[in-house]
Structure formats: C-alpha cells, structure tokens
Structure 1
C-alpha cells in the first residue's frame, strides 16, 4: 500500500534557520521523501516537530491529496511499479503543470553541449528570441504556425541585408541562415523530448511534433570559390613584404600568401588542420580532419605527401619545439584567430590579383575544381582526397585500410598542371 505523510526532519535545519517540509512516501516497506516548496520555522512546529501552523498544514495537505490523486490513476495493484517509478511519474506531472520553457532549456543544453558548432545553436536561439521579442517560449507554443512566421521573419531580415549589401557594392552571400536556424531549433526540440520524455515509463511531457508537417528548406549551394590555375600561380609569385632593414615582415599578407599555397599543395588542407597537425614522417603529413574527426570511425585520417614546391615553406614555418609541424600556434592562440588572420591578408592579395573577397577556402575549392575539370581526376578520388564521408561506403570502409596513394597521385597531377614538372618531386 502506498501512503503519503507530511513531515519535518529535526536534523535538516538550513543555515537560515528554516526547515523544508518533506512528503514521506512509503510503498512495499520502502521509504523515500520528496521535497516541497514549503519552508517553516521553529515557531511553526510543535515540540515533537509536527506542523502546527494552520497555513502550512493546509498547503501540505493539498500536496498530499494531489499526489494521492495522481497515483490513484497508476493502478498500482495491476502494474508493477517501483517507488522510483512512482516518484519519476510524480515529478513528471509537476513539470507538466509548470510548462517547459524551450528557450531556457535550449540555453542550458548549449552551455553543456560538447559537440562542435554549438555556437550555431546560440545564433539560432538568439534569432528566435529576436523574433519573439522575449526570452521565453512555452514548448506548447512551438507550433507549425509559429515556425512559419519565424521563417518569414528570417527571410524578410535577409532581404533588408541583401539590399544594403547591393547598395554598398558588396558580395551577397548564399542564403544558408534559414535552413541552419530551423535545423538547429529542430535539433534542440528533439533534445528536449529526449530529456523530458520517459518512454519506458510512459511519461510523455512533450507530446507535440511541430516539425512533422513542417518542411525545412534545403541550404542554398555554397558560393563557388574556385580560382584559375593562372591566379594560383600569380599568388605563388607575388613578392613578399619587407621592412626597412630588408627583412621579411611577419604581417598577415605574407602569412596569407604562404598558407594559401600550403593549403592548395596539400590537397586543400583546412586552416584548423594546418594549425594543429603534428605528425610528419618521411615528408608525409598525417592529420585527422578537425571538422569531422569526432564523427568518424577512422577519425577522418588523411596522409599527404609534401610536394617539393612547398618544402621551403615547411622549413620556414617549422616548429622548433617539435610539438607540431608548423609554428603557427606560437603566434595565434586558437585555430580561429589563425584563420581570421589568413583571410584578412587574402583580402589584400585578392585586390592585387583582381579577385573579390578571396578566402582561404578558395584553395580547397580550386584544387577540387582543377582536379576534375582540367586534370581529369574522377570525382570519387577527389571526394576521397578532400576527406569527405561517403555514406554509401560507410560499412565497406570499415574493412578497407586506405593507403592514400590515389589521392597523392591526383595531387601530383594537379601540381604539375599548375606549376609544371618538378613541382611535386
């Protein structure tokens, strides 16, 4: 038999002199207690620590009756519930009555998230808050209709931004915000369902599915950043900047020039991997792609032979401490700050060669484009060289050990096409 009783524990006095009223639950000779929001003082209690203040007696009785009514619907004589099951159900019913704040849950989830790109979720929630005009949203109010209005808001905001960019004569970026924001909110909503719903105990605090009949638009294709072989040669041949003493400066222009060529010649290596890579053996760099290493069984392993053309750069930026291959981490505290410095320098280089808004990622795009369109490398080899995931081959890849020869042979052909014979070996 399940019984409830309000009680105060003499040994549990708080630092402010109050006691919390507990609800003692007894079931099948097992005893557990639930805290309440009732706090009493010594004068509210009898000498035997029973409640004597009528106000608190009434509040405690109300909680006990509520628990009794909730548990009466559980049919304890039929179902084999434990006391923990009952407590979980009671807590679930309490949360139901309080309503779940989606914004608050999302911010707490983001704070404790360990996945890469958590900042994207913050951006999405900030956009939702800006749309709502408030920092709270009951999860029951997150409906298909609200999502449609939010989508219209994002599109209208982009239109204003695009008009301003056109007026200033600046590049208009691809429209990815709507897909990213809505996808992030959908993920957060599903995380809330996982957190609050206990399907084993049939405790469903979030029963709605607003995304079931709401179609999130696909992302627009990423802006094509590839540049021609001639422009890559121009970047390679650009003169360095020197100070008044004839010594090469440590500025972002020189850094950008070298890192762009390093990336192109190392099969489009990302700036984060250039910053972090630490394994060099017989002129072969082994690295694990930062962007996807945590999501892949092979840890996104990649091996690239260092072409002869960039051996001087390998020596120029060598880490004398030997902890990494390059010394970039001595000058930039994070991979992000390193990437920003490169892109800042590339803006100056872009003006010199006539490329609007030149970016570091153009090296990667250019390598892939030239490999397919000019050298005749098949797309599957290019796909592997860029270290992308092939979903269709995910299981097969478990059994195959890559030797990276096809990717490096493709790089040899691309290098010789752009820089001529002798560039690779």
Structure 2
C-alpha cells in the first residue's frame, strides 16, 4: 500500500535556519522523500518536529491530497509500478505546473556549456532581451510570430549600423548577425526541449515548435578578402620600422608584416594556431586547427612543411624554451590579443601600400584563391590544404591516414609562383 506523510528532518536545517517540508512516501517497505516549496522555521514546529503552524499544515495537506489523487488514477496495484516509477510520475506532474523561463534557461545553459563559440549565444540572448525589453520570457510565449518580429528588429538594427558605417566611411562587414542570432535561439530552444521533455514517460512540458514554420535566412557569403600575388610580394619586401640605432623595432607593424607572411607560407594558418602550436620536427609544423578540432575525429590535424622562404621568420620567432613553436605567447597573454595586434599593424601596412581593408585572414583567402586561379591546384586539394571538413567524405576519411604530401606540394607551387622562385 502506498502512503504519504508530511515530514521535517531535524538534521536537514539550511544555512538560513529554515527546514524544507518533505512528503515521505512509503510503498512495499521502500521509502522516498519528495521536496516541497514549503520552508519553515523552528517556531513553526513542535518539539518532536511536527508542523504546528496552521498555514503550513494546510499547504502540506493539500500537496498530500494532490499526490493521493494522482496515484489513485495510476492504479498502482494493477500496473505493478515500482517506487521509482511513481516518483518519476509525480515529479513530472509537478513539472507540468511550472513555468519555464526561456531567458533564464538560456543563460544557465550558456554558463555550463563547453562548446566552442558559446559567446555567440550570449550575444544572441542579449540581443533578444534588448528586443523584448525584459529579461524574462515564458517559453510558451516564444512563438513564430515573435521570431518574425525579432528578425525584423535585427534587420532594422543592421540597416542602422550600415548607415552609420557609410557615414563614417568605414567598411560594411558581411551580415552574419540575423542568421547567427536566430540560429542560436533555435539551438537554445531545442536544448530546452531536451531538458524538460521526457518522451519515454510522456512528460512533454514544451509541446510547441515555433521554428517548424519559420525559415532562418541564410548567412551572407563571406566577404572576399584575397589580395594579389604582387601585393603579397609587396608586403614581404616592405622595409621594417627601425629604432634610432637602426635596429628592427619591436611593435605591431613589424609583427604584422612577419605574421602575414608566416600565415601565407604555412597554408593560411590561423593566428590562434600560430600562437598555440607546439610541435615542429624536421621543418614540419604539426598542429590541430582550434576552430574545428572539437568537431572532428582527427582533431583537425594539419602538418605543414616550412618552405625555405619563411625559414628565417620561423627561426626569428622560435620559442627557445621549447614549450611552443613560436614565442608569441611570451608577449601576448591570449590568442585574441595577439590577433588584434596583428590586425592593428596590418591596417598601417594597408594604408602605406594602399591595400584596402587588409587583415590577417587575407593571407588564408589569398593562398586559396591563387592556388586555384593562378597555379591550377584543384579545389579538392585546396579544400584539404585549408583543413576544411568534407561532409561528403566523412566516412571515407575514417579509413584514410593523411600524409599531407599533396597539400604541401600544392603549397610549394603557390610559394614558387608568388615569390618568383624557379
């Protein structure tokens, strides 16, 4: 027989001096306790720790009756439910009566998430809160209509930003915000469904699907940042800034010049990987591309041979401690600060050479563009050299051990073309 009884445990006093009123369940000599939202103090209890405050007695009795009515419908004796089955069902019924705050859930999910790019979710939620004008939204209120209004809001904000940038004579970046933010909200909504819906026990707290009839616009194509072979050669040949003694000056200008050429010569290596790579052996740098390593079985492994043209730069910045390949981490505490320093210097170089919007990523774009258009490297090889994911070949890639010879041969040809090495 299943019985319910109100109980306060003397040993479970909280730091604020209160006790949580629990409902003790007994079934087939097994005991379980369910917490309630009732908290009492010493003065609300008898010496034997029984409730004596009429208000709390009434509230606790109401919960007991509620549980008794629910379990009566289960026909426990006929269906042979276990204690765990009963507890799970009662918790599910409790959950059905609660309101799920989508904003609160999202912020908690972001706090505990370990996925890369989690800051994008923070930005999306902050923009959503700004649109709502409040930091609370019951999840049932997240409708298709609300999503459309949010999209219109983002588009309007984008138009205002474009107007401001044009007035200031600044470059208008590619539009990623609308698709990125809406995609982030969709992912957070799906994560909420995973947490609150128990399909095995038919406990569905989030039953609607606002994204089912809502189309998230595609992200605009990334702005083409490739520069010509001649411009790369001009950057390479650009004189360093010297100090009063005629020695090469330490600073972002010279750093940017060198790192741009390093990136180009190492098949467009990202600044984060240039900053953190740790393995060099026999003039081959092995690293795992930070941007995609968490999403790939091979950890986005890449091996790049150091060509003769950039060996002086590799030696110039070698980490003499052996901790990493390069010593950039000794002058910049994070990869982000390192990247910002490079791009600051490249803005100076771009102004001198009249290369509009020159930035670090142009080295990677330029390598790919020149490889295909000027050197005749096939797109599949370029795809592999850039260490991109090939969705169509995922299964095949499991069985193939890459030796990176084809990619490095392609790099040799690109280097020879740009630097006129024959």
TM-score (norm 1): 0.96
C-alpha distance in 2 between matches for 1:340 and 1:382: 27
Q: Is 1:361 aligned with 2:376?
A: no
Is the alpha carbon distance of 1:153 and 1:27 closer, same or farther for their aligned partners in structure 2, counting shifts above 3 Å?
same
Q: Which residue is equivalent to 2:376?
A: 376
Is the alpha carbon distance of 1:372 and 1:18 closer, same or farther for their aligned partners in structure 2, counting shifts above 3 Å?
closer
C-alpha distance in 2 between matches for 1:322 and 1:97: 60
Greater displacement, 21-30 / 46-55: 46-55
Any idea what SS the aligned residue of 2:24 has? strand
Any idea what SS the aligned residue of 1:224 has? coil
C-alpha distance in 1 between matches for 2:202 and 2:341: 53
Structure 1 residues 197-254: Cα deviation after superposition (integer angstroms, max 9, x where no partner) = 1122221111111111111111000000000000000000100011112221111010
Q: Which residue is equivalent to 2:8?
A: 8
- Give 1:407 deviation, angstroms: 0.6
Is the alpha carbon distance of 1:41 and 1:410 closer, same or farther for their aligned partners in structure 2, counting shifts above 3 Å?
closer
C-alpha distance in 1 between matches for 2:252 and 2:235: 14
- The 5 A counterparts of 1:24-423 are 24-421=24-421
Q: Does structure 2 retain, via aligned residues, the 8 Å contact 1:124–1:181?
A: yes
Where does the alignment leave 5 or more consecutive residues of structure 2 unmatched?
Answer: none
C-alpha distance in 2 between matches for 1:106 and 1:19: 30
Q: Which residue is equivalent to 2:19?
A: 19
C-alpha distance in 1 between matches for 2:225 and 2:402: 29
C-alpha distance in 2 between matches for 1:162 and 1:88: 53
Where does the alignment leave 5 or more consecutive residues of structure 1 unmatched?
Answer: none
C-alpha distance in 2 between matches for 1:393 and 1:349: 40
Any idea what SS the aligned residue of 1:227 has? coil
Is the alpha carbon distance of 1:338 and 1:52 closer, same or farther for their aligned partners in structure 2, counting shifts above 3 Å?
same
Greater displacement, 220-229 / 355-364: 355-364
Is the alpha carbon distance of 1:94 and 1:254 closer, same or farther for their aligned partners in structure 2, counting shifts above 3 Å?
same
Is the alpha carbon distance of 1:16 and 1:262 closer, same or farther for their aligned partners in structure 2, counting shifts above 3 Å?
closer
C-alpha distance in 2 between matches for 1:294 and 1:323: 22
- Give 1:396 deviation, angstroms: 0.6
TM-score (norm 2): 0.97
Any idea what SS the aligned residue of 1:209 has? coil
C-alpha distance in 1 between matches for 2:310 and 2:339: 20
- Give 1:270 deviation, angstroms: 0.6
C-alpha distance in 2 between matches for 1:391 and 1:18: 56
Is the alpha carbon distance of 1:226 and 1:146 closer, same or farther for their aligned partners in structure 2, counting shifts above 3 Å?
same
C-alpha distance in 2 between matches for 1:278 and 1:10: 57
Is the alpha carbon distance of 1:118 and 1:80 closer, same or farther for their aligned partners in structure 2, counting shifts above 3 Å?
farther
- Give 1:74 deviation, angstroms: 3.5
- Give 1:50 deviation, angstroms: 2.6
C-alpha distance in 2 between matches for 1:310 and 1:50: 81
Structure 1 residues 130-173: Cα deviation after superposition (integer angstroms, max 9, x where no partner) = 00000011100011110000000000010111111111111111
Structure 1 residues 94-115: Cα deviation after superposition (integer angstroms, max 9, x where no partner) = 2332210000010011011111
Any idea what SS the aligned residue of 2:32 has? strand
Is the alpha carbon distance of 1:360 and 1:78 closer, same or farther for their aligned partners in structure 2, counting shifts above 3 Å?
farther
Structure 1 residues 246-275: Cα deviation after superposition (integer angstroms, max 9, x where no partner) = 221111010000000000011000101111
Q: Does structure 2 retain, via aligned residues, the 8 Å contact 1:85–1:201?
A: no
Is the alpha carbon distance of 1:204 and 1:417 closer, same or farther for their aligned partners in structure 2, counting shifts above 3 Å?
same
Any idea what SS the aligned residue of 1:98 has? coil
C-alpha distance in 1 between matches for 2:60 and 2:391: 58
